[in-house]
Amino acid sequence: MSSEEKKIDLEKERIEILNAFRGILRAHKKRTKEDTRIIRKAFDVAVDAHSHMRRKSGEPYIYHPIAVARICIDEMGLGTTAIVCALLHDTVEDTHITLEDIEDLFGAEVRLIIDGLTKIPEVFDQSVSIQAENFRKMILTISDDIRVVLIKLADRLHNMRTLGSMRHDKQLKIASETKFLYAPLAHRLGLYSVKSELEDLAFLYTEPLVYAEIEDKLKSSKDARNRFIRKFTQPIREALLHEGYVFKIKVRTKAISSIWKKMKSKGVPFEEVYDIFAIRIIVDTPPELEKPDSWRIYSLVTDFYQPSPDRLRDWISTPRANGYESLHTTVMSRTGKWVEVQIRSKRMDEIAEKGLAAHYRYKESKKGDNKFDRWVSEIRDLMENPDLDAMDFINEFKLNLFTDEIYIFTPRGDLRVLPTGATILDFAYDIHSDIGDSCIGAKVNNRLVPLSHQLESGNQVEIITASKQKPNEEWLKYVVTARAKQKIKTSLNEERKTIALDGKEILDRKFKQQNIRFNSENISVVEKFYKMPNTTELYFRIAKGKIDLRKLREIENVNGLLKEEKKHIPKSKKANDTFKTITKKDTILIGDDFKNIDYELAKCCSPIPGDSVFGFITINDGIKIHRYNCPNAEHLLSKMAYRCLKATWKNTDLKENLASITVHGIDRIGIVNKITNIVTHEHDINMRSISFETNDGIFVGHMTVLVYDTEHLEILMQKFEQVEGVQRVVRHINE
């Protein structure tokens, strides 16, 4: 390319960047002159800072912060400060600009948000998950400024939209992290459209073939679906117009990843997923008429179509924990298909689409709207525990991202929202930590039940307490909420520390008897001698009489100072040593020796040649090879990507591998014989095990076969599908 052409290209890019910036200003309709000035200033700083940077796709880097700012406006309804922070969100991390510069130019509020969005520096300790630490840092800012998390979700959404230019292993790592943490977080904040798109984009990279198959089926059935919807909605539309309502009827097609989840959980093919789409009726009505109008519209809909009594969900009387309000019903159409109908006001629809930002905009008009504030206080509870490392924090935080909720009443009739599976103890701690700590049981609907009793929606619960009751380790098995777990752990730690003080006094007396100085160096030697993880544990075990202090005489004492015995440490094959010989660029070629490190195929997903796989460095068992669609893959790739390696299959030797297949069908005479005959007549396939179960004319067959690769397995599964009566054949993954 000539210098003249380069100039033209750069000029074209400059014009495109300016147009994109003007798009931000046009989208931000309620801005003042001061807003325009500060957004322009942030844009100029970002353009200058990122001027020499380009993305993996080759385009100027500034397109990314501009796109993040547009998501904040269009899809979250955020204001000027968030737009400024979105434009600047990568400057401190990637350019010469510092947090002090940000504060000087834009003030303390913007600095706080940018700090929350800036990743922590890379550390050299390979046992620390950088992703986990960064996620924790971001989440801890929720209680300071929720916009940190909203901008991060916008950033993640744009990264997912442009993931195609990344390396395949990077795509899988980012997609897994998105599915594991960011999509549930978007759901918890009420950003349903963001959550659905994040899940779908992650699914596109983790299960590309399944994604393409469902996408094709959605496209091919689109015309028939549209005809059905027009016919279904026509009488409803006419009735609403007759009643004088101002309304819109929208159609929401289920996300591809959600369709796949339904297919897997219900064990049905695409054609049998009844809620591929939902009809949404949005009525423009004042706040005081929202509830009566929604129920009136429900009445009109059910005049035409029979509702399913089991599928009525009233999220208007009792909004979900993330502020979502809507009335859901499932009705039977005249062609015999179930259809979900969602009824809501314009305000409710904005909250459902834009989540928290819209929720706060309307907050003044709703009484007792403090569920999100309670969630923030639960995150503060997590922050109170200094012993919680990043991995534990994420595990506890994930518990708070529940989707299914139950509604429990106190004796006075107050309502509490808890996750499905919550117990008496969860409810007690939800009321107050002191009530939780002293809980000995409860009355559910006036019936006495134990601490471990699982609650159901609609239960009325009266907690019974006793002043002498104290939490114990067993309680941790009885609770599912992060709040309850955290409070129990805090109480146990406090009790442990109190007991440890007695142990400290006992050790001090023992030291005096043997003329040993009571200082940190000597205590550290004793810790290592008894193989204790920390000082508190040492003192605790001494107090409990679990440590034989007579053995102290075995440690060399020189003028009151204890000498640590130097022992030869044999070579270990544990993860830390393995890391030293492995770099992120390494690829395991399955079938060849890999740096004298053992690797084996993971039993949880039984990969075979042809499967897309990766290696995971375990603590004690070398490297395990997992399929990318293994039930554990999302967890490993998102939280411990630093221990994951690329892996590929060696093409040479043909070797038999175990694969599990499940066959579903209608029980016909001779069908089992036909299936086993297929395996018998396939010369290069051996059957390891087979079992069939029949129930009310339906059969399920489980078999384990030895095959060479995925192609070999696919041929066998296709032959099973051709047997009359067989409806589905799936490869089974151990959960």
Give me the residues paired with residue 418 across strands: 406
Burial class (CB in 10 A: 0-12, 13-18, 19+), 241: exposed
| Burial of 242: CB neighbours in 10 Å, binned 0-12, 13-18, 19+ | exposed
Q: What is the Cα–Cα distance from 127 to 443, expressed in whole angstroms?
A: 47
Q: Kindly calculate the radius of gyration of the chain based on its CA atoms and give it in whole angstroms.
A: 30
Query: 623-627 and 657-666 as β-strands: parallel, antiparallel, unpaired?
Result: unpaired
Q: Where are the alpha helices (DSSP H) in 50-90?
A: 63-74, 80-88
Q: In whole angstroms, what is the distance from residue 714 CA to residue 693 CA?
A: 23
Look-up: residue for tokens 């007579």?
Answer: 550
Q: How far apart are CA 696 and CA 694, in angstroms?
A: 7
H/E element, 21: helix 3-27
Q: Residue 716's closest CA among 724, 706, 725?
A: 706
Q: Are 503 and 536 in contact (CB under 8 A)?
A: no
Tokens 């004793």 map to which residue?
A: 526
Name the region of 515 (left: φ>0; alpha: ψ -120 to 50; beta: rest).
left
- For tokens 């930590």, the residue is 433
* CA 359 – CA 189 distance, rounded (Å): 10
DSSP 160-184: HHTGGGS-HHHHHHHHHHIIIIIHH
Under a CB-based contact definition with an 8 Å cutoff, are residues 662 and 734 in contact?
no
The catalytic residues are: 93-94
Strand-strand pairing, 327-332 and 439-444: unpaired
d(CA 472, CA 467): 15
